[in-house]
Structures are given as structure tokens and as C-alpha cells.
Structure 1
Amino acid sequence: MRNFIPKISYFWLTMLLSLYFTCVVNLPVLLHFYQILHALSAYKIGFALSIPVVLFAALNFVFTPFTFKPLLKPFFIVLLLISAIAAYAQLVFHVIFDRGMIENIAETQQSEASSYLNASVVTWFVLTGLLPALLLLKVPVVYNQTVLKRLGVRVLSMLVSLALIGGVATLYYKDYASVGRNNRTLNLEILPTNYLYSGFQYINHKYLSTPLPYEKVGTDAKLVQKAGEKPTLMFLVIGETGRAQNQSFNGYDKPTNSFTQKTPDMVFFNHVSSCGTATAVSVPCMFSDMKRVDFNNERAHRSDSFLDILQRAGVAVYWKDNDEGCKGVCDRVPNVTIDTKKDGKFCDGETCYDAALLENLDDKIVDDGKNKLIGLHLIGSHGPTYYQRYPDSFRFFMPDCERSDIENCSHEQLVNTYDNTVRYTDYVLTQVIAKAKQYQDKYNVVMIYLSDHGESLGEDGLYLHGTPYSVAPPQQTHVPMMFWLSPQYAAAQGISLSCLQTEAAKNDYSQDNLFHTVLDAMDVKTTAIDPTLDIFKSCRTAQ
């Protein structure tokens, strides 16, 4: 077969690879660029025509150092395979491969990753990645010049590329600068430099940098319970991919909160912002004493979460996970992740419905007089396989989208499927409350629910989540938060429920509030608490 494939010199192969990456692999960024230009009232034709030329020259400059014989084929075969997947993600979901996204990918579990596989992505991968890689593997590459001459050709090719870029910059610098200032993610959309650079950042940060020393937080924490008062039992429910605008509590015109809206003493917070747009950032952030504006994920992983502080103060803490792990916040407290292959009632071997979290909890709530916190991490509305997050009996909004290639569903189907996940989460919350009520004779019980981040459902062409926070739409950062306080808990804590409901409707909150609110709500006193971030403080009638 090799004899039927014509030979090609390393120089022209580099040109062809640069052209292929410009026109095929980088189709998403070209389409985005021209979409931006189309929205302008006027632009220069020469500027528009120069865009693929500059991209080609830049790629040729970057690729040329990797065209030495031992490196060329292995390097570009790997690049073609990875870039095909990345291009699909950018084209269909508008994913941006910054360091945060690389971190999300690195921490994704196998079951979650498999949910992204479908016929569309496989076809794209075969046509744009696998077949070009096989062709490159088979093609005979000619190196028919001396070593010095080949080196000179490479240097000259790179210099010509720089000159071409410089010439275009001379003519259209203002145009590129204007578009770049107003569209700051464009530089993170160019393949393969985006994921290579971000991947290097992640590896350097994760594995090559000297770890920070572990920092204990709230070392003065003490549990202060009123004499003769029942201990507190809190269910802390961390949601997944919940967006506030799809909550009927928040004015949404579909009954997604039909269960909790019938539950007395519910408090819904209308204006809550997340710390990040992905679980890997939001969960460590909301459990940390750091605020979003100064959050450092490395420091969060090397310091106490409020679960550590609670446990050190004498609160019994237990964490149960049905998502992609607790991202380090539960590592030092008793914890368990549901085994999807063991529970036949709620699990199918690949994923579990969130009702599975309530199974076998009673042995963790013994009557020993201690304050207790039970953390439940939902899989909630995790996409793209939204239809796998609720049982058939909860297919309430129809028609829904029973597939993972959500771009091939109608917008109505997609939103209906997502809304079914919201409604099922709402049901699970009422089951958590029902479980809490079973212990009211021994404990003052309370439930807090807060989602980690939101989700895009096709608005402005965006899907899923993980967009850099600085440019993320509100659908990814505006999250639901609900409190349920039993009358006994509210009375014991001196909290006015009507005051809390009024404050929740009008005030702005964020995940920064959780650390301080939970510690105080569990009767733990420490100088690590910032009273201005304690949600309950302004509604306490007795201090």
C-alpha cells in the first residue's frame, strides 16, 4: 500500500499540515472570527481576508521546529488525534481550553467522560483525526538535503512566517487589537496551541511546582451548645449544574420547584453567584475561607475546609458523593462515593439517581448528643446526558432529549430534559427534608442546598459550562440556593424565618457566604468567621 502514496518533502508536508490545521482543525475559531466581523457595522475586506493567512503563518512558525525526522510523525499524529476531539468540543459546545478546563478534563471520571461519546463525535474524530493521522503514518517523507541546508530552510520558513505576520500587523494592527480587546477568549480558541499551553500550565502547577505547606484554618474553633438544647443535625446538599433561572421559585414559568414550593418554611435565595463555572473550582472555593476574588485553588487543596474545622471542634461529619468527587474538601473526614455497580435500585452500572444518597444513612445518625453534618453531593443536572439524571417516572416536561449529542436535539427538547433534572433534584430535596424530620425528637434539624455552578443550554451558541469566569454568561454563574429550617431549629438559634425570607428575596449573595454561615449555624465559634458573610446573623432575634 505504501507504494501507492506519493512521497512528499518535509517542507511541503509542514505547509500541508499548517494548511490543514488552519482550514479544518481551526474551523471553529475562523467561524467565530467571521461571526464577530458580521456583527460589526463595518470592517475592512483586507482584514477579513488576512485572518486565515495570519493563522497559517503562525501555525507554520510553531510547527516547523517539530519537523525533524525522529519527531515529525509521532508529534503530529498525536496532535491530529487530540485536536480532532478538541475541535469538536469547540465547534459544538464552544468549549474554551484554558487551564481550568484542562483541570476539569484531568479530574473527569471515566463514567462521566463516556457520557460525551456519541455517533457525531465518533464520526468527526474518524474523519478529521484518525484518517489524517493514518495517512501521515503511511506517507513517505523525503529529507533529501544536507543537515545544514534543512536547518537553513526551517529558519528561513520561520522568518518568512514572522515577516508575513508583521506585514499584516502593519496594515491591520488596530483592527486586530480592537477585535482582541472585545473578544478576550479568541487567543484561547486557536488549536493546538490553546490546549498545549494550558496543559503545560496545568502540569507545571500540579506536578512540577513546590507544594504549599499545609495550612490549618480556624484552630481556635470551639463548639458552643446551649445547655439543655438538643444538638443540631444539618443536611448540607451540594448541587451540580443547577441554574437559577430555571427555578420556578425565581419566576420561571414551568413548575420545576413543584415539590419544595409545597414545603413549609422553605427559603429560596433569588440572587446567588457561584465562585467558578466548574466543580473543580466552585466546590473547593465554597468550602474555603477565601473569597472568589482572591481564591487560589492550590491553597484551598492545601488548607482546611470548613468540614475540617467542624470535625476538629467536635461536630460529627460525614460526606456521601454521587458526583465526580468532593475535590479535596472531604478528604480528611469520613466519606464514601456511591458505587454505581452495586446499587440496583437507583443505579444502572454507569450512573445513579440522586435518591441513592439517602440509602443507608441512618447508621451515621446515632443518638450520641453530638452536632452532626451530613454532606450530600448530587449529580443533579450534570450534562450532556441530562436524561440519565431522572427516572422515567420523572419525564414530566415533554418531549425530552434522550441522547448525549444534545446539539442534535431541538431547543425545546433540550430545555425540557434539563428542567426534568431540576424537578427531580427538587423532589430529592424534599426527601432529604423528610429524612431530617425523622430525627426531630433527638435533633434540631436544618437543610442547606447550594449548587456549584450553572449551565448554558444553547444561549449565544454556548452549551454546558466551564467558560472562563470573566466572560461567562449568567446562566453559568447564577445558581440556586435554598434553606429549610425546622421551627425547632429556628427557635433554638433565634432566627426569624420571615426576616430570612425577606432578605433572601432582595439581597445579593454568593458562595463566599457558605463557609461562615455553616460554621455559625452549627454553633462553632472561631475568629475565622466573618460575621458580615454569615447569612443568618442579620435575622437573629436572640444572640
Structure 2
Amino acid sequence: MTQQPQPHRTPSIFSRFRRGAPSISLLKFNLLLAVWLGLVLNYGFYEKIHQFTPYQGIKATGLLIATVLVIVAAYHLLLLWLNWRWNAKIMASIFIVVGGFSAYFVNSLGVVITPDQIQNMLQTDVREVRDLWSIRLIIWSTLLVIAPLCLVWIVNIQATSLPRQLLQKTLASMLSLVFILGLLIYFYVDYAAIFREHRDLKGMLSPQNAIASSLSYYKKKAPKQHLPLLHYGEDAHRIQRTQAGTPPKIMLLVVGETARAESFSLNGYAKNTNPELSKLPILNFNQVSSCGTATAVSVPCMFSGMPRADYDEQLANHREGLLDIAQRAGYQVTWIDNNSGCKDACDRVQQYQIPAALKQKWCDASGECLDEILVDSLQSYLSQLDPKYTRSHLIVLHQMGSHGPAYYKRSTAAYQPFQPMCNSNAIQGCSANALTNTYDNSIVYTDHVLSQLIQTLQQQKHYQTGFWYVSDHGESTGEHGLYLHGAPYSMAPSQQTHVPMLMWFSEAWQQQQPAQVSCLKAQTARTLSHDNLFPSLLSLLDIKSQVIDPKNDMLNQCASSTSTLSHESAHA
């Protein structure tokens, strides 16, 4: 029987590349990978080391070179025993991808990778991820992720006998250890001084930062499943006023997003970013600090009843908070969201579903909505209330605010007085002036939204209405080489922790409770924080409970408010 000739198969481009690719030893493969990870990806880390170095000239250069050698040698030592011929390319790919993307945020935006940043990433929705993509990120990914990945999979790793491999790894490990220990000992005083003052620098070293922070998050911060709900403030009750016909209350709490106090002209900023609010009789508190530097930390903390110094994220995750207590005391509590959710703070209260018609009016094709949707949603919600129904309401609005990096999406043309703008989410590529203008325009738009909300409350004649606005955290727009937010609190600049806070009360509220308003007016210049929200808001709602900390209750600071309480009677 005649054997049929086999059809000729044209080798793939990848196969031809592989055949023509160089063949290197595993030892050299690991060394090149260590140089890539330790040197190429971490220039932002080395810039910080150089910035914190107390020396000049040759001595500063020597410390910088020593630092590079220590990092490269440390990665090399790790890779020597982690990578073997059978898994080297897989492990290299993981390190290149993780290190490449973490290095982008560190080097381009000054972001420090911490467990909190891992939490932010896990809680980020699709819209926020879309806002992070830019031409700059695509170029970075192509050059520093895809290209090295291709090289890793094209190159051939030579086969070596196990005894020879072990001998090579042992000798190379000894050499790496000599470099590491020798340089650390020689520069010990310098490294000790730098890292003692800047402990979070390790969050700038890729890919170590992403890997270590992920492990830390899952060990310490990841929500534990199936924990029983702990009741809190079970004694909460409202103090009823003895005067007949006292109208019920509507308190509107607006949780801002990424607004920083120093960009509010109400706080002395040179550009007029508050043209509408400045014309209203608001109370502006100009010395307020946040609980965290990211939404995933600040929002749960604000509603937990725990001060920042004692905040326990795991406990907050399965314990009742401010909204539960207000609901228990008789308030109709409603959450209306234009952000990425309430971070579990509103799980047990009503969550208002924004009508489709409003979404069509204010949202783009991706589902991202302008904050004026909150004004229309509030008006729609209030229009359904029966004026004969005497139940009081606590309504929480969660803004999109100034969420970055796509600041240009956070305002409309009518509220963009500052030009030129940075019409890109690759903000590090914009001029400082354009970037600042774009962020400031988002504050102008927030000013308009908040003013519209106050005017909506003014029209509710059957209620005492109150308004409280506070941002969850601030934002860096290039100051100190930092962008966005989420820096470790210990090293976070004031731009990320100094937040705006405003209040407004209707004439009916002021007439019924003048002592409350006078007490708050006297504290506008006082040093305050998110710690004051939980006890002070409950007191404003006439709610009493043993869980209200009098030290942080703003109304407890005034003797006048105490005397007023003597004319009130407790009613469970």
C-alpha cells in the first residue's frame, strides 16, 4: 500500500519566532526578570528615595545605586527559588502583569498600593474602571506589559540538570545575600531614618506592593461571611416636643464624593467655585477632616458610630449603624445613590430606585449619571409624600461629585467657567492649569447641585427641613506628585483629608429649635471631623441613645442646647 504524502504545514509566526529566538539559562532568565522588576518598573520609588535622602552629590547617588542593587538582588533571590524551568514563564507572566499595572498607578499617579487600595479596586464598578482607561495606559500596557510578556514566551530556557541547577541557585543566592546584607549594613542609618519616617514607601515598590497588600487585605480587611448582625443603639428613641402641631422633620444628608475643602471659595479659595451657595444662609464648617482617604473606608466609618482612631472595619461590616438607629427611632430612612453604592451602610433601609425617565435624562450610554439626577430624584420622592402623613424623614443622597480621573465628565458646559480644561482621563498628561480648572469646574457643578437641593427643601412648607453636606474624602491633583486619593492616612496630604462640610436649616426648623442652630453657628471655625457626624446628626433628629458620644456631639457643646432639653419630655 502506497503511503500518502503528508500535507505540508506552514509553521506559525510564533513558532518561527521561537525557533529563531535566543536560548538562555534559567539563571540568566531570573536575573533579567529581577532587573526588570526591580529597576525598570520602580523609578517612582527611587525618586522618592532620592527625595528623602539627606545627602547631595556623589553620596546621594551612591545611596540610590545601593538601593537599586538591594531591590534587584532581593527580587533575584526570591526568583531563584520560586522559578524553575517548568514554571518560570508562568511566574514571570504573573509578576510582569501585576507589577506592570501597579507600577503604572505608582509612577504615573503617585498612588501608594495598600490594602485599602486593594479594597477600593474590588469595590470599583465597571463605570469607574472605564474612566481609568486612557491612551497613556494603553501605551504603558503595550510597552511595559505586553512586550515583555511576548519576550518571556518567545525566549527558550535551556535545560539543565537538577544538580547543576541547585549548585547555580546556591551560589547565586549567596552572591545576592552578600549584596543585600552588605549594602543594608553599610547604609543602615540612612535606610532606618527614611523608612522610619515613611513607612508606606513599600507601597510604591512593584510588584511587591500589590501582592503583599492583597494578602494583607484578605487576611485583615476582607469582610467575613455569615457573621451575625449585631444590634446597636437598641435604646434609641425620639424626644417629642410638647408643643402641639409641631411639623415633622425632613433631614437631607448629602454624602459628597472627592471634594476637597481647599477648592471651595467658601473656605478662601481664590477662584469663585461657590457662586450659588455663597448667596444662601448656610453654615460653612471650614476645619473638617475625613475618616479615610477613600470611599470604601470613609463611608462605612461615617455611619458606624466609631471614631476614626478606634474604627474597626470588620465590626462595622456586621453591626447596625446610624441609619438603622434613625429607623428604629421612627424615621423613614431612604438612600438615593448616584455612585457605586453605600458600602453596606444602607443595607437595611429603603433604597430609592431612580425612575427610568430620569436616568434617560441625566445618564450617558454607559450608565454614568450627572448629579442633577439627585435633585430630580429628591423632588420626585418628596412629591409622593402625603402632607397629612406626619412621619419624619432622613434622606441620604450619595453623589458622583468630583470623582476622578475623568473630572471633565463631572460638570456640564453651563458650569465650566474655568478654561482651558483637561478633557481626558489621562490627567497626568495635562497641564497643571488645565487639570485644576477641570477639577474646579466639578466643584462649581456640585455648588449648583447643592443649591438646587436646598431650594427644593425650602419649598417643603409642611416640614421642618434641614440639610447637611460633607464629602467622604478629598483629592490630589498633582500636588507633591500625587494624583487621585487613597494615600495611607499617615502620609496623606491635606488635599485628601481636609473636606468641606455645610449645613442649612429652614425657617420652620430655626423657629422650632433656635438653640440648635445657634449652637452650630458658634462652631463653624472649630476643628471637626467625620467623628462628629454620627452623634450630632442623631441629636439634630431629636434621637437619644446611650451610644451617642457626648464628646463628639456638636449640640452637646452648647449650654443653650442643654437648657432647651429641660423643656422636652422623653417619649419612646
Q: Give the TM-score taking structure 1 as reference length.
A: 0.95
Aligned to 1:60: 76
Aligned to 1:521: 540
Say if 1:208 and 1:111 are closer, same or farther in 2 by CA, change over 3 A: closer
Pairwise mapping of residues 258-297 of structure 1 onto structure 2 (< 5 A)? 258-264=275-281, 266-297=282-313
Aligned to 2:553: 534
Aligned to 1:373: 394
Say if 1:316 and 1:140 are closer, same or farther in 2 by CA, change over 3 A: same
SS at match of 1:469: coil
In 2, distance between residues paired with 1:291 and 1:216? Answer: 18
| Residue type at the aligned position of 1:484 | W
In 2, distance between residues paired with 1:516 and 1:502? Answer: 18
Is contact 1:322–1:337 with CA below 8 Å preserved after alignment? no
Pairwise mapping of residues 243-322 of structure 1 onto structure 2 (< 5 A)? 243-264=260-281, 266-322=282-338
Is contact 1:341–1:348 with CA below 8 Å preserved after alignment? no
Aligned to 2:113: 97
Aligned to 2:186: 171
In 1, distance between residues paired with 2:221 and 2:297? Answer: 14
Is contact 2:98–2:210 with CA below 8 Å preserved after alignment? no
Moved more, 468-477 or 2-11: 2-11
In 1, distance between residues paired with 2:535 and 2:112? Answer: 33
Corresponding residue to 1:154 among 169, 176, 199: 169
SS at match of 1:123: helix
Moved more, 361-370 or 238-247: 361-370
Larger Rg: 2
In 2, distance between residues paired with 1:109 and 1:341? Answer: 23
Q: Does 1:362 align with 2:382?
A: yes
Cα deviation, residue 223, structure 1: 2.1
Moved more, 356-365 or 126-135: 356-365
Per-residue deviation, residues 160-185 of structure 1 (Å, max 9, x unmatched): 32222111122221121122223222
Per-residue deviation, residues 361-407 of structure 1 (Å, max 9, x unmatched): 23564432111011000010111101101111111111111111111
What count of residue pairs does the alignment treat as equivalent? 539
Corresponding residue to 1:192 among 196, 207, 218: 207
Per-residue deviation, residues 61-109 of structure 1 (Å, max 9, x unmatched): 2222321233221221122122212111111111111101111111111
Q: Give unmatched runs, 5+ long, in structure 1.
A: none
Cα deviation, residue 242, structure 1: 0.8
Aligned to 2:124: 108
Cα deviation, residue 474, structure 1: 0.7
In 2, distance between residues paired with 1:41 and 1:258? Answer: 50
Aligned to 2:347: 331
In 2, distance between residues paired with 1:291 and 1:388? Answer: 34
In 1, distance between residues paired with 2:317 and 2:489? Answer: 20
In 2, distance between residues paired with 1:271 and 1:34? Answer: 33
Say if 1:44 and 1:413 are closer, same or farther in 2 by CA, change over 3 A: closer
SS at match of 1:257: coil
Is contact 1:340–1:348 with CA below 8 Å preserved after alignment? no
Is contact 1:233–1:444 with CA below 8 Å preserved after alignment? yes
Aligned to 2:473: 453
Aligned to 1:492: 512
Cα deviation, residue 209, structure 1: 5.9
Cα deviation, residue 115, structure 1: 0.4
In 1, distance between residues paired with 2:63 and 2:353? Answer: 54
Q: Does 1:473 align with 2:493?
A: yes
Aligned to 2:11: none
Q: Percent identity?
A: 36
Aligned to 2:455: 434
In 1, distance between residues paired with 2:295 and 2:307? Answer: 16
In 2, distance between residues paired with 1:44 and 1:439? Answer: 66
| Residue type at the aligned position of 1:457 | T
Say if 1:291 and 1:363 are closer, same or farther in 2 by CA, change over 3 A: same
In 2, distance between residues paired with 1:366 and 1:129? Answer: 59
Alignment RMSD, CA only? 2.1
Is contact 2:334–2:395 with CA below 8 Å preserved after alignment? yes
Cα deviation, residue 493, structure 1: 2.5
Say if 1:79 and 1:270 are closer, same or farther in 2 by CA, change over 3 A: same
Is contact 1:341–1:347 with CA below 8 Å preserved after alignment? no
Corresponding residue to 2:101 among 81, 85, 88: 85
In 1, distance between residues paired with 2:170 and 2:385? Answer: 70
In 1, distance between residues paired with 2:85 and 2:419? Answer: 57
Cα deviation, residue 2, structure 1: 1.1
Is contact 2:255–2:472 with CA below 8 Å preserved after alignment? yes
In 2, distance between residues paired with 1:209 and 1:432? Answer: 38
Corresponding residue to 1:241 among 234, 242, 258: 258
| Residue type at the aligned position of 1:18 | A
Aligned to 2:10: none
Q: Does 1:203 align with 2:218?
A: yes
Cα deviation, residue 156, structure 1: 3.5
Q: Give unmatched runs, 5+ long, in structure 2.
A: 1-16, 566-572
Aligned to 1:399: 420
Q: Give the TM-score taking structure 2 as reference length.
A: 0.90
